[in-house]
Amino acid sequence: MAQHIKTALALFALLAACAATTEDSLDSELAERDVTTRSIVLSQHQSMARLFGSSDLPSDSNHYLEFVVTDVQNPAKHTAIFNVISISSTGDENIIGSFALFPPDNPGRFIVRLRDQTKMTTDIGLRLESTGLPCTKDAISARVNVSIREHVSVRESTQ
């Protein structure tokens, strides 16, 4: 019985080592690169910004949006939700992703994957929403750097 346990543990250790080697080799073969970057400021008074037009959007699904929220002003610590929206040529809006800061005055980094619905949109926008926020000096504002990024193989990124 003891021999079976030792054999099982040895096999488990071998499989774990193989899995770690495979993961490391996959990670080392992938890199990221910025395709397009924008910097915007959203506030209670300017709560929506159009980020990218259809000509900026990639046609494949290997891309994602990276949002880096910096310089947050939210003295009353109101809840702030950022909705990433696709805007069709007719003006219809669909939410393709959302994120929120926690704590509500803390900067952060967020990822939203671009999916096939972006092929049908004319614009991608970002809307800052906060329910029940009065129009006061405690208004929310945040600087947001937005990038369209893509996963590429290491061979592609070094060329």
Q: What is the pLDDT of residues 77-107, one digit of tens each?
A: 888 899 999 888 888 898 989 999 999 889 9
Beta strands in 21-140 (DSSP E): 30-43, 48-53, 63-73, 81-87, 93-100, 108-113, 123-129
Residue-range domains of the chain with CATH: 31-157 (2.60.120)
Enter the tokens of residue 94: 């669909």
pLDDT at residue 26, as a whole number = 41
Instruction: Tell me which amino acid residue 158 is.
Output: T
User: Which residues of the chain fall below pLDDT 50?
Assistant: 19-28, 157-158
pTM of the model: 0.70
